[in-house]
Chain A
Amino acid sequence: MTQLNPQNTAQKLIDIDAVDAKALLGVEESGPRISSDQPFRKWLYDWTLNPNIPGNFQSTIERWIGILIVLNLFALLLEHVPAIYEPYKQQFHFFDIFSVAIFVLEYALRFYLAPEDEEFQNKNTPRAAYVFSPFAIIDLLAIAPFFLQAFIPVDLRALRFLRLLRILKLFRIMIPAVKEFAELNRGRTFRQKIHALVSPSEYGGKLHNIFDTFIVVWVIISVAGVVLESVHSVHYLINLEFVILDTIAVGIFTIEYLLRLYSCVEEPRFRHSFLGRFKQARQTSALIDFLAILPFFLDALLGSVLDLRFLRVFRLLRLLKLTRYNDSTKILTTVIAREWPVISASAFIMILMVVMTASLGYVFEHQAQPEKFDNIPNSVYWAVITLASVGYGDISPVTPVGRFVTVVMSLLGIGIFAIPAALLASAFGDQLHKERELLKANLRNMMKDGYLDETEAALLRVEAKRLHITVEELNVLLEHIHDERENAKHKSVLPLHVIADNPDHAVEHYKMLLSQINQLALLTDAAKFEQAAKSSDSLTAKELTLWQQIKARS
């Protein structure tokens, strides 16, 4: 496992000889280290709620509770749509019972394990301290309305409203993230804080991750909304809800767009206050962000004058916002840019083929089928469908010559049309291979000093994940680097008698010495060398003869 360098206490260093690929990539071999010999309560706390043990269920539980809270919020909103609520009343009720059961379990668990919690364990009565802590009160408020109806005749509408309190449970996730963000950004400007929030940096912390997740969730919700709008029966029932959803989504994406545009000048490449922002606005990701909100404004402002309904489909472009969180499209763009000359050449040949085929189709089939091959532009559709091997069959040649031409052109088309696909596939693989090689080269550089620091390890982890480097591959690489270092060490530091003991090493060493003499002979002035050797009697006659022989051979 990892080993700390005792000389450096500020930065945690991992000795290269002790690097564990699994630990480096964050792959747990046998789960978290939780002793089963400890008391049950401590053991349960370590498994479920202890935030300081990596690999336990704490983050999983928090994530699923967060998801359940968001689902509760949606359920609450949908319950106000009679067309949805009435037919599924029972399911909504069961979901409510399920949610309350989970929240009660969570509350009971936290209550039971409060004496193990760092926050409460030093109090006289840890459980009482937990009960009166802000988070516990929020947790209680989230489940209390459900039980209220059992004892007090509460108006159901008020009850539903009280269930909104469940959102407060999100504070359990938000507050620590905000605190961490404030700590990381202490002494930084307002704009720098915004930049840390919206862009990946060392100052973002968990709040940046929450921001990203929030945007991703809204992208998915709004795209799902656009897709469902096309279903008449759904759109007919919840038209108003779709309008509200779209307005909220556009509001969120507009804020995000402005935040990114305002804070981009914090990055060196967008430094200038106006030109930098203009440059940022021209970035592909910024254009996608802009196009994601544009249809709403155009439709609202010009919809009464112009028929802009077709713009609605462009709301699906919001899906492209997700490319910011995935590097595959970046690799694909690089590949297309790199292979553009070949792609454009094959596109040119494809266009030639299409025009040729359409023209030949028109020439040979027009007489027989004037309604289908009435002119060359209309024959282009048939040509493309034929050359791309799609073959719908709605238009097909009937004359013998037309069929013969189609056979020839189709066979050619298979090859020509396959070129771009094959090209892209091969270039994509090649690009990945290159990036992996680059990562390996970087890893070699990082390990030159014999240690990996935390920053290097984190960078390696991110890149290895992005390029799908497996533990086995990393092990091979580490072994290779280890061997290289060992060889270099042996060559440079082994004493002569150790080299002499091994004939292979001795031969290698002899070759190295000869090579050095050869280099010396090439670089030095031979006349001056011999004059100096003779005048000061530095070399014996035999030594001088040997030098002359080596020099003559070189």
Chain B
Amino acid sequence: MSSSSSSPPVGTAPTFADWVFIAVLVGAIALVAYLGAIIFEQAQQTEKSKRNAEGLVTWLSTASAQRFNPDYPVKACAGGGDAKTSTWGACLEHLMANDFKSMQNPFNGKPPAFIEACNPSDKSLKGEIVLLKNTATAPGSAVASISSQLVAEDSIDQKLQLSIGICDKGAYLVKVSDFEF
């Protein structure tokens, strides 16, 4: 540790240079606070996107236990029916028209799109929802399951293993949950 020798005192009141420094210091603090507020705002939007996905997880997980009952009220999302008519597209349409009517992508104010993957080079994907179905592979395969996008034509007449995530402010994937539907 070095000890320094300071110049002799010339006066105790802050000089003009000191006031300039204080102004710079206050400016720097204000800049950090302003940028921090922007980052916080963006982080909050990511949080809202996460809440969107979590809402879907809650609804779909709850439905999973009942949708194979014959008297399940939401026919569009009911299981055990005709594979051709019981599709994810119909179920999603029902959800977006009813339970999730007010759901918005906080980054663009529109209803969130369901996409296959996030892409950091495509910033328009911020806040969109990544919904994948996990299909088990044959025993002995190198990987236990393969994932692909759950598209509108996919049948939901049987139980599905799903993964859901969202694209954050940098359009990177934030995994939310794996669940059964």
Contact = CB atoms under 8 A, between A and B. Distances in A.
Interface of A: 187-192, 195-196, 199-203, 232, 236, 239-240, 243-244, 247, 250-251, 254-255, 258-259, 262, 266-268, 273, 296-297, 299-301, 303-304, 307, 309, 327, 462, 466
A258 B28 CA distance: 9
B39 A266 contact: no
Contact of A200 (B2, B10, B120): B2
Given A189-B9, A258-B25, A327-B1, A251 B120 contact: no
A245 to B, nearest CB: 10
Nearest to A459: B3
Nearest to B120: A307
Given A189-B9, A196-B6, A239-B43, A307 B28 contact: no
Contacts of B83: none
A200 B6 CA distance: 11
A296 B35 contact: yes
A199 B32 CA distance: 24
A243 B10 contact: no
The 7 closest A-B pairs by CB, nearest first: A247-B36, A300-B35, A190-B14, A251-B32, A190-B18, A267-B4, A243-B43
Contacts of B5: 201, 267-268
Contact of A240 (B9, B33, B44): B44
Contacts of B11: 189
14 contacts: A188-B12, A189-B11, A190-B13, A190-B14, A195-B6, A196-B6, A200-B1, A201-B5, A202-B3, A240-B40, A254-B32, A255-B28, A258-B24, A299-B39
Interface string B39-58: 11001101100100000000
Nearest to B7: A266
A309 B32 contact: no
Contact of A201 (B3, B25, B40, B44): B3
Nearest to A203: B6
A188 B6 contact: yes
A378 B13 CA distance: 66
Interface of B: 1-7, 9-15, 17-18, 21, 24-25, 28-29, 32-33, 35-36, 38-40, 43-44, 46-47, 50, 120-121, 123, 169-170, 172, 174-176
Nearest to A192: B6
B16 to A, nearest CB: 11
Given A189-B10, A192-B9, A201-B4, A301 B35 contact: yes
Contacts of B18: 189-191
